[in-house]
Structures are given as C-alpha cells and as structure tokens.
C-alpha cells in the first residue's frame, strides 16, 4: 500500500483569515517502508511573514520572495501524492491549509474522511496521558532528531514517517513485505525449477581401516563411553 507522510509550514494558524502555506514536504511509503522518494517545495505567500511564524521555521520574506506561488507548482504536488492516504501530525491543521490552497486555485479538496490519517490521534489512543508532540514521540521511539533546530516541512515529514511506522507496530512490520517491494521494482519473480531428490549414497570402509580403528579403540584405557555403556 502506498502512503504519503507530509508536513507544512505556514504564515500562521488559519487559512480562512489570510494565512498561507509557505512550505510542504512529503515522504513516500510503500507497505510502511520509506522508498526514498520525496517531494519538497517552498511557496511565496504574497503577504508578509509574521515574526512569530518566522521564529518557528526560519523562512523570511527575503527567502520566499523569489519562490513560486502555490498555483504554479500545484500540478507537481498532486502528481506526487496521487490518490494515496495522507498522513500528518495534527492533520486537521495541515489539511486545512492544503485544501485551502487547492481551492484558491480551482482544485477540489482532498477528502479528509477517506484519505486523512492523523498521527496525533493515533498517538493519543496508543499512549494516553503521555506527551504527543513530534519531539516527544521521537524521544519515546529513540528516533534521532539532533539535526532538527528549526521546524522544516521535509525534515519533519521524514521524522514523522519513522514515528508513524513505530505507532503502527514498529520497523519489523516491513520484514514480511520485502518481497512485495522487490516485485514492484523488478517485476514478477519466476519460480525456480523443482528440486531433484537423489537417493542417499552408500560408502564402504576398507577392511584394513576397520581393523586399525578397532585396535586403536582397544588401546584407550577407561574410555568415557565405556562407563556410560556399563551404567
């Protein structure tokens, strides 16, 4: 099964109040194993970046000024995500911005009922009473986040992909699915020829070797196997 883990960075909290998406990062999973394929893009929000938002992700007006608007790159994004389920942490937030941007350029929204997977809700059900931030979940599962200084959409999506796999049962779930991935990459596996069962071979020992072995055995005083046999 193909799934996409994604994260967004924005100018604020509410698309309906004029905030915009400025970055998106996507990680492809196949049978909950990372394939190595990713999608990453920055977008010009066509509005000033609030200082409090820049403090979170570090994306300034100057950096984003020469980036394309969302509508200019929407086709590439939709081509990458396809019809796969979309996984995000506190997914309602990310879906609100993704669907808001899609609607603003005339595309239908992605169905939250059939395609949205929220790792925050999964974490709350698996570990009630614990902390459920991405940092806390990385600590819980021993996922290295030492290189995460500021929020970044692709980096956070890569960390979340590992968290998601752990929440759904751990890395070992992919062990039984490796053959599926090989088939998907290289085509059907051809069955090997039936195994030929040969009759057992009979070996004969020369008479002289048997006599020499018997003489050697008689020369051993108080053998261990003799005590076992007599007991």
Q: List, for residues 83-104, the tens digit of each pLDDT value.
A: 999 999 999 999 999 999 999 9
Q: How confident is the model at residue 151 (pLDDT cuts 50, 70, 90)?
A: confident
Average pLDDT score over residue span 72-85 = 97
Q: How confident is the model at residue 221 (pLDDT cuts 50, 70, 90)?
A: confident
Give the separation between CA 170 and CA 181, rounded to whole angstroms: 18
SS (H, E, C) the chain: CEEEEEEEEECCCCHHHCCCEEEEEEEEEECCEEEEEEEEEECCCCCCCCHHHHHHHCCCHHHHCCCCCHHHHHHHHHHHHCCCCEEECCHHHHHHHHHHHHHHCCCCCCCHHHHEEEHHHHHHHHCCCCCCCHHHHHHHHCCCCCCCCCCCHHHHHHHHHHHHHHHCCCHHHHHHHHHHHHHHHHCCCCCCCCCCCCCCCCCCCCHHHHHHHHHHHHCCCCCHHHHHHHC
Among the ranges given (59-63, 183-187, 194-198), the one the predictor scored with the smallest mean pLDDT: 183-187
Predicted pLDDT at 176: 44
Predicted pLDDT at 174: 45
Known catalytic residues? 151
Predicted pLDDT at 172: 53
Average pLDDT score over residue span 171-197 = 43
Class of domain 2-186: alpha beta
Question: Where are the domains positioned within the chain?
Answer: 2-186
Give the separation between CA 41 and CA 11, rounded to whole angstroms: 15
Average pLDDT score over residue span 113-141 = 95
Predicted pLDDT at 206: 79
Give the separation between CA 175 and CA 32, rounded to whole angstroms: 11
Q: How confident is the model at residue 227 (pLDDT cuts 50, 70, 90)?
A: low
Of 26 and 180, the one with more pLDDT: 26
Contact 70, 104 (CB under 8 A): yes
Predicted pLDDT at 229: 53
Q: How confident is the model at residue 192 (pLDDT cuts 50, 70, 90)?
A: very low
Predicted pLDDT at 211: 85
Q: pLDDT per residue over 49-59, tens digit each?
A: 999 999 999 99
Q: How confident is the model at residue 15 (pLDDT cuts 50, 70, 90)?
A: very high
For all residues of the chain together, what is the average pLDDT?
86
Burial class from Cβ neighbours inside 10 Å (0-12, 13-18, 19+) for residue 35 reads middle
Burial class from Cβ neighbours inside 10 Å (0-12, 13-18, 19+) for residue 2 reads middle
Burial class from Cβ neighbours inside 10 Å (0-12, 13-18, 19+) for residue 46 reads exposed
Q: How confident is the model at residue 208 (pLDDT cuts 50, 70, 90)?
A: confident
Average pLDDT score over residue span 202-229 = 74
Give the separation between CA 134 and CA 67, rounded to whole angstroms: 28
Of 224 and 228, the one with more pLDDT: 224
**Sign of dihedral through CA atoms 69, 70, 75, 79?**
positive
């Amino acid at each position: 099964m193909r799934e996409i883990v994604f994260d967004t960075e924005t100018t604020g909290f509410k698309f309906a109040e004029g905030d915009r998406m400025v970055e998106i990062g996507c990680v492809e999973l196949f049978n909950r194993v990372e394939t190595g394929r990713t999608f990453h893009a920055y977008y010009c929000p066509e509005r000033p970046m609030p200082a409090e938002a820049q403090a979170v992700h570090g994306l300034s007006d100057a950096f984003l000024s020469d980036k394309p608007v969302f509508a200019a790159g929407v086709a590439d994004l939709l081509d990458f995500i396809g019809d796969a389920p979309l996984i995000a942490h506190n997914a309602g937030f990310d879906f609100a911005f993704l669907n808001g941007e899609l609607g603003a350029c005339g595309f239908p929204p992605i169905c939250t009922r059939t395609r949205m997977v929220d790792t925050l809700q999964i974490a709350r059900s698996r570990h009630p009473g614990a902390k459920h931030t991405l940092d806390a979940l990385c600590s819980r599962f021993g996922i290295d986040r030492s290189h995460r200084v500021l929020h970044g959409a692709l980096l956070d999506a890569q960390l979340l992909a590992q968290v998601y796999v752990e929440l759904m049962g751990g890395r070992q779930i992919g062990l039984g699915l490796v053959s599926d991935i090989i088939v998907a990459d290289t085509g059907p596996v051809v069955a090997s020829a039936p195994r030929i069962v040969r009759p057992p071979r009979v070996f004969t020992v020369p008479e002289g070797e048997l006599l020499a072995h018997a003489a050697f055995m008689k020369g051993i005083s108080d053998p261990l196997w003799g005590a076992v046999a007599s007991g």
